[in-house]
Structures are given as C-alpha cells and as structure tokens.
Amino acid sequence: MEPYVKNALLDWKEEIEQQKKEIDEEYERVKTELQLYSYKFGITKQVIQSTINEEMINNIKTTYQKPFEEKYNELKLQLKKLEEKRSVFNMFVEKIENASEIKVK
C-alpha cells in the first residue's frame, strides 16, 4: 500500500475515533440520566402503592410518575440509538484498520 494512502486512512480513522469518542461520552451521559429516572420512577411508584388517598395518588401520578415515565422511555430510546451509532463507528474503525494493514505486492 502506498504510504500516502495508508496515512490518509489513518487520518480518517482518527477522525472517526474522535466522533466515536463523542458518541461514547453522550452514551454514558444518557445512561446515567436513564438510571436516575429509573430510580425516580421506581420511588414514585412505591409511594403511590403506599398511599390510600386517591386525590394524592392522582396528583403524584400527574406531577411525577407520568413525566418520569415519559422521560425514562425517551432516554431508553435515545440510548438504543446511541448503541447503534457506536456499533457503526466501531465497524468503521475495524474496516479502516484492516484496509490500512493490506500490503501491495
């Protein structure tokens, strides 16, 4: 392989790795936020189960449980999309590495 081709591939790999790093950071942020909303939703559910006053239950559901559940589901979907992006960028890195290791006879 010509040195300039190999260098160009390695430069591209660095660019892809930088984008992958940003995706990984976003993934970890969303994962942490998802965990937080999982706790918030779980705690709210437990409080509702321990409460007998219907008016308070409805108020808690409206104020906390439904918004927490919506945010949890939104974050779960976002995490799934980020997992897919991570997979694609990992493939890019692997393919570039394999291509840059090819030797021309």
Instruction: Give the integer Cα–Cα distance in Å for 98 and 37.
Output: 41
Per-residue model confidence as pLDDT tens digits over 90-104: 999 999 999 888 654
Instruction: Give the integer Cα–Cα distance in Å for 65 and 47.
Output: 10
pLDDT of residue 102: 66
Three-class SS state of 14? helix
Per-residue model confidence as pLDDT tens digits over 19-67: 999 999 999 999 999 999 999 999 999 999 999 999 999 999 999 999 9
Instruction: Give the integer Cα–Cα distance in Å for 89 and 27.
Output: 13
pLDDT of residue 103: 55
Contacts of 86 (CB under 8 A, 6+ apart): 20, 23, 24, 27
pLDDT of residue 104: 45
pLDDT band of 105, cuts 50, 70, 90: very low
Angle at the Cα of 53 (from 73 to 66), degrees rounded to 5?
10
Per-residue model confidence as pLDDT tens digits over 54-87: 999 999 999 999 999 999 999 999 999 999 999 9
The size of the chain, in residues, is 105
Instruction: Give the integer Cα–Cα distance in Å for 86 and 82.
Output: 6
